[in-house]
Amino acid sequence: MNVRSCEKKEKSVTEIAIEVAAEEFDAAVDEAYRKNRNKISVPGFRKGKAPRKLIERLYGADIFRDEAVENISPKAYSFGIDECKLRAVDYPKLLSADAGEDKSVVFVFSVPVFPEVKLGKYKGVEAVKPEAEVPESAVDSELAGTRLRNARIETATRPAIGGDSAYIDYEGSVDGVPFEGGKGENYELVLGSGSFIPGFEQQVQGMRTGEERDINVTFPKDYKAEELAGKDAVFKVKLRDLKEKILPELDDEFAKDVSEFDTLEEYKNSIREKLRLQKVSEVDAEFERAVLDKIVEGTECDMPDAMIEQYIDAAVSNYSQQLAQYGMELGMYLNMSGSTMESLRESMRPNAERQAYYSVVIDEAARLESVEVTDEEIEAAYADRAERYGAEIEDIKSGESEESVRQDLITRKTLKIITESAIALPAPPKDETPPDAGDGAEQDGAKADAPDAAAKSAGKKKPAASGGEAKPKSARKPRAAKAAPTDGAGATDKASGETDKVPGEADKASGETDKAPGEADKASGKTAKTSGEAEKASGGAAAKKTGGRSKSAAKKPAVVDTAEDKQ
């Protein structure tokens, strides 16, 4: 084999032409013949006994050629990227495999490669870093939540008020005509939750058990069920039962019941410290993101579309696994939410682009700083993971490659160099705060909104977000996100399969949670790495002429860890 050409194209794509000698290609054709000859019938010959030339004359000279191309193309591709010293980031596309006059065959591949990066200033970058302040109201809110979770549930004999659980029958109609999905029986509605359309819950308040009432509401103009949007509706409602929460007294006995502390003051101090550490982690993560955003602004690179698509692929996979935790398939969610895979992927694109640029910035900074990781550091990382997850080191190693751990450590070291050299600016007064360019992904809808509401409707516990490295598969649960979008009239609850009682206003469908610079992918179990690193091709199935994927593929992107994950 020899390299005919290696030509750079736009968007960090390189075309390579690899010449395979006639003898080598003919050997591949002969191998395909031997493999398939027992399947071919030729008059006058037992199966497997007809000569190759006769079969080619009867069935066409190219009868074995396609298989020969498929078999030899991975080898040709691997040879090409090695010789051209290319850093592939995705599967190659075989553009052609044409024979020359000397019967040699020239394979032409289109290869997305890691972009050339012209890094701007990456040390001493200035970015806003707010103070990690925890208002007393946050402590009070945490206490209130704990009291609510430990409340007694009792039947209420008084009129319904906010916070009560009202068990209602209802049927809605527009212009006297009932509409699909507008009927429910013994539905638990927490008054004040905002789960029904505006005005509904307020009119349930004041009702007593057994009372019936007509509730007049107007569907929002942007309601997802277009036939109901902006329409006036009447719901006939009967209050079947009413439950109230009796909160425990906020005293030392309460602290003993819900914590390891003997006094309420000690318990409040522990909450305050926990919230402070959380706030420090959040501020550090925001600062990292702001610093990386500034570096990206000064960086030049021709980002390949393939890298961004890989990040979208990872986001879709992560989102799908979150839904699966609540017994829902992604396809079902898309049908119920009225979304498509295309719209979901587009909602994830802004954050994917952001992550792709972060990855190339960190990768180039690591190269310039000559960041290295020793074998001892890798072993220590494995030991840390084993201790953290209560697993054996060998189990951790079997679930996470050494290269994955190495890239994770390189990323962490590089981020530390970047952020420790950065200059933290005080946050301006709130009324003067400029818009944060780094929040674009969130504003563009790159939030995963499914599993939280799913947990509520399915009666399951919301999975806790784990920090740092991804847990081994045997111990890991996916990151929980925000509330699930509800579909309009008569839709099914996106995660539990229960009917969404029509008065519930639909949330916006969305994509993946906007991860801070390099947050570990909790759902997929991939450890954070410097993304876009390509694996060298090493055989495997051929990249088909139609653009099919070869196993000589790049590594999937992983998202780098944030300061928040390091706690």
CATH code of residue 160: 3.10.50.40
Q: Looking at per-residue confidence, does 268 or 515 come out higher?
A: 268
Say which range, 28-37, 390-399, 448-457, has the weakest mean pLDDT: 448-457
* 102 and 191 belong to one structural domain: no
* 377 and 296 belong to one structural domain: yes
- Please compute, for residue 83, the number of CA atoms within 13 A of its CA located in the half-sphere on the CB side: 16
Token digits of residue 344: 């979901």
* 107 and 158 belong to one structural domain: no
Residue ending a domain, choose from 218, 246, 274: 246
pLDDT, position 546: 36
Token digits of residue 481: 């996100």
* 96 and 195 belong to one structural domain: no
Residue ending a domain, choose from 199, 224, 246: 246
Q: Is residue 558 included in any domain, yes or no?
A: no
Q: What is the pLDDT of residues 114-152, one digit of tens each?
A: 999 999 899 999 999 999 999 999 999 999 999 999 999
Compute the average pLDDT of residues 264-284. 96
Q: Is residue 403 included in any domain, yes or no?
A: yes
Structural domains in the chain (count): 3
Q: Is residue 26 included in any domain, yes or no?
A: yes
* 425 and 520 belong to one structural domain: yes
Instruction: Name the average pLDDT for the chain.
Output: 79
Q: Is residue 278 included in any domain, yes or no?
A: no
pLDDT, position 337: 80
- Report residue 58 CA to chain centroid gap: 53
Is the pLDDT at 48 greater than 50, yes or no? yes
pLDDT, position 143: 95
* Cα distances (angstroms) measured from residue 542 to each of 25, 77, 546, 548, 556: 14, 9, 11, 8, 19
Query: CB–CB of 115/304 below 8 Å?
Result: yes
Is the pLDDT at 460 greater than 90, yes or no? no
* 166 and 71 belong to one structural domain: no
- Which residue range forms the structural domain that includes residue 72? 2-113
Q: Is residue 262 included in any domain, yes or no?
A: no
Is the pLDDT at 475 greater than 70, yes or no? no
Token digits of residue 1: 């084999």
* 224 and 366 belong to one structural domain: no
pLDDT, position 454: 32
* 338 and 460 belong to one structural domain: yes
What are residue 492's DSSP bridge partners? Answer: 499
What does pTM read for this prediction? Answer: 0.63
Is the pLDDT at 219 greater than 60, yes or no? yes
The 3-state DSSP class for residue 347 equals helix
Q: What is the pLDDT of residues 82-93, one digit of tens each?
A: 999 999 998 999
Here the CATH number for the domain that contains residue 294 is 1.10.3120.10
Q: Which amino acid is at 132?
A: A
* 172 and 35 belong to one structural domain: no
Q: Looking at per-residue confidence, does 45 or 485 come out higher?
A: 45
Query: CB–CB of 484/451 below 8 Å?
Result: yes
Q: What is the pLDDT of residues 519-548, one digit of tens each?
A: 333 333 333 333 333 333 333 333 333 333
Question: From CA 128, how far away is CA 283, in angstroms rounded?
Answer: 10
* Cα distances (angstroms) measured from residue 185 to each of 75, 182, 239, 506: 65, 11, 10, 20
pLDDT, position 327: 86
Is the pLDDT at 35 greater than 80, yes or no? yes
Is the pLDDT at 476 greater than 80, yes or no? no
* 472 and 374 belong to one structural domain: yes
User: pLDDT tier at 508 (50, 70, 90 boundaries)?
Assistant: very low
Q: Is residue 503 included in any domain, yes or no?
A: yes
Q: Is residue 562 included in any domain, yes or no?
A: no
Going by the DSSP 8-state scheme, the letter that residue 298 receives in this structure is T
pLDDT, position 548: 37
Residue ending a domain, choose from 190, 221, 246: 246
Question: From CA 230, how far away is CA 226, in angstroms rounded?
Answer: 9
Is the pLDDT at 451 greater than 80, yes or no? no
Q: What is the pLDDT of residues 431-440, one digit of tens each?
A: 655 444 334 3
pLDDT, position 432: 54
* 47 and 192 belong to one structural domain: no
* 64 and 199 belong to one structural domain: no
Number of residues that make up the chain: 567
